[in-house]
């Protein structure tokens, strides 16, 4: 019998890639999101659109209803078998230009926290319908595994003030002091999943993502991450032009290519490690170096106009992969240049489709929308 997986946030960047991976492994997959993927058709066996902050909708989503497509059956409905695995990527998020202005803090915290609370409380109700799921079973046999995508944004700001030596080891998370409400919500939700694991015998996995990028990620409009934003600006620039860069360009970050992220997440789900763990690259670069990398893969000479903005995030952030190498035997292999080349070529393919006209309201040439990747996810 096929394993059954539920992917929340399946219309987003990481979620849509996870759906593809699970289908390739032979899973039956239900994808759920407010929208379908932006840049390709979903390959999920069933894709349901709806608002996961609505508990009644989440309740329908949680309860597997077979492969006959009877999701929209009447309520109350008869409980069926639970999913084997749940992947929770759904969140209100975006790049630095969205997260760090302070204008969206209430929505970011409310919406993301509510999705997680709904998921866990509805799954608890499902478990109580199946008493066997509540028993301490060796190796969690028969229980639904739940994956939660946290973020490096939950790490304390005081450990990320030195751009050359940031400390993002898993055990450096406390005393807690994230630099954004987005990071605080991620930290709270980590603790929520761990509390359900302790108190209700849930089988959870938590990854702290570090700046995931690649093809089919948002690349214009204000919620894009640094690699996509910079690739877009370089794509529209002529060799010899300059592009705007927030801050002094000496902020440091590491960026993980999407395929690596999916592989590491699958290894985490297949393994037995249950504490939060970093999934990221240790190839730390300055933002200026990120621009240089994009220019190199585009074969262009690109200058930098540094602009002062009030929300530049922490000075340094880099994944520490000691724990994941030890516990899962995983390490990244795609270099930043290789990943940026694939990302740049994909964005160029989008531009050449002539689907995204430039106008005053949506300046996808990018001068007013450059984010530089201080969000961890």
- 3-class SS of residue 163: coil
Find out whether 85 and 123 touch, Cβ atoms under 8 Å. Answer: no
Q: Which residue from 70, 60, 62, 71 is spatially nearest to 7, judged by alpha carbons?
A: 62
C-alpha dist (Å) from residue 191 to 48, 92, 156, 173: 28, 18, 15, 12
C-alpha dist (Å) from residue 25 to 34, 91, 109: 25, 25, 34
Distance CA 340, CA 257 (A): 8
Distance CA 352, CA 82 (A): 44
Long-range contacts of 91-94 (CB under 8 A, 24+ apart): 91/9, 91/115, 91/149, 91/377, 93/182, 93/223, 93/375, 93/377, 94/218, 94/222, 94/223, 94/224, 94/371, 94/375
Distance CA 39, CA 208 (A): 25
- 3-class SS of residue 178: coil
| Lookup result for tokens 């084997």 | 84
C-alpha dist (Å) from residue 267 to 121, 130, 327, 331: 26, 27, 10, 11
Catalytic status, residue 182? yes
Indicate which residue of 182, 220, 332, 372 is catalytic: 182
37 token code pair: 């993927």
What DSSP line would sit under 308-349, residue for residue? --S----SB-----HHHHHHH-------HHHHHHHHHHHHHH
349 token code pair: 């393919």
Length of the chain equals 377
Catalytic residues: 182
């Amino acid at each position: 019998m096929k394993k059954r997986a539920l992917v929340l946030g399946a219309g987003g960047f990481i979620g849509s890639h996870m759906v593809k991976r699970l289908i390739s492994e032979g899973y039956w997959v239900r994808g759920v999101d407010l929208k379908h993927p932006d840049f390709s058709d979903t390959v999920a066996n069933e894709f349901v659109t709806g608002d996961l902050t609505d508990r009644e909708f989440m309740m329908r989503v949680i309860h597997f209803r077979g492969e006959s497509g009877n999701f929209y059956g009447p309520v109350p409905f008869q409980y069926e078998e639970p999913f084997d695995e749940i992947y929770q990527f759904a969140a209100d998020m975006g790049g630095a230009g969205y997260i760090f202005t302070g204008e969206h803090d209430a929505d970011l915290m409310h919406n993301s926290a509510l999705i997680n609370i709904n998921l866990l409380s509805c799954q608890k109700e499902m478990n109580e319908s199946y008493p066997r799921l509540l028993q301490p079973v060796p190796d969690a046999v028969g229980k639904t595994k739940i994956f939660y995508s946290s973020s490096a944004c939950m790490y304390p700001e005081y450990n990320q003030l030195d751009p050359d030596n940031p400390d993002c080891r898993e055990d450096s998370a406390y005393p807690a002091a994230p630099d954004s409400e987005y990071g605080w919500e991620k930290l709270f939700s980590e603790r929520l999943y761990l509390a359900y694991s302790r108190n209700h015998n849930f089988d959870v996995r938590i990854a702290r993502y570090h700046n995931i990028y690649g093809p089919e990620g948002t690349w214009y409009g204000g919620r894009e991450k640094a690699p996509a934003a910079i690739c877009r600006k370089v794509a529209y620039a002529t060799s010899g032009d300059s592009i705007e860069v927030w801050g002094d360009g000496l902020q440091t970050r590491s960026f993980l290519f999407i395929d690596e992220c999916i592989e590491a997440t699958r290894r985490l789900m297949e393994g037995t490690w249950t504490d939060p763990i970093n999934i990221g690259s240790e190839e730390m670069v300055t933002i200026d170096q990120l621009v240089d990398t994009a220019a190199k893969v585009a074969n262009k000479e690109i200058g930098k106009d540094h602009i002062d903005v009030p929300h530049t995030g922490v000075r340094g952030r880099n994944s520490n992969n000691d724990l994941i190498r030890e516990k899962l035997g995983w390490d990244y292999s795609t270099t930043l240049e290789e990943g940026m080349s694939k990302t740049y070529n994909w964005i160029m393919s989008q531009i050449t489709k002539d689907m995204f006209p430039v106008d005053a309201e949506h300046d996808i040439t990018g001068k007013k929308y450059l984010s530089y990747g201080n969000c961890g996810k």
